[in-house]
Structure 1
Amino acid sequence: MENPAHYEWQGEDLILRCRLQPKSARDEFSEILDGQIKIRITAPPVDGKANKHLIRFLAKQCRVPQERVTIMSGDTSKQKRIRIRAPQTLPEGLKLTSASHQSKD
């Protein structure tokens, strides 16, 4: 059975299930629908620009180097699975339940 949550922990790594909305007015986390968090970004979906922008956005939000954010699946799709290795901060916009994992400060 598929996990209905939009995230899961694998050790210290955060795995996100997201739906990307490129060409938005601003970069932001949005609502959770069908087990995915919608992430709006300003970059267009051309030549990998949206993916690169998504990685920069998530790295900044979680205070990790960009090298620690990887797209596990969905490279050419709006629906993606993202791995964030040992995030230093868990942004409120991700809508993670605090009981599920403690942030490293």
Structure 2
Amino acid sequence: MILDELATLIASRKGVDPDSSWTAQLLAKGPEKCAEKFGEEAIEAIIEAVKGDKARLTSEAADVLYHLLVMLAARDVTLDEVLSELAQRQGKSGIAEKASR
């Protein structure tokens, strides 16, 4: 799965020379900057969703997924942990699940 491969690549960039890759630069700036960048990309995706431009939304959605994985890596949360959380929620009513939090 491409997200697994991307998460692995992102994790491999932690602690390497920031001049070696964009991902390493983001991670070197810390979790707060990674979260900020994720937020920026999420807003851009929202704008494209409202505009209705499918190609631009697709591109921005890819950016959102990448920056989500970077943000998670910055806080040592793995994709597997997120997927496990989703699996636990599967089959539950969204309303009941939200109420349990």
- Structure with the greater alpha carbon radius of gyration: 2
Flag the structure with higher strand content. 1
Larger helix fraction of residues: 2
Q: Same fold (TM over 0.5)?
A: no
TM-score, length-normalised on structure 1? Answer: 0.27
* TM-score calculated relative to the size of structure 2: 0.28
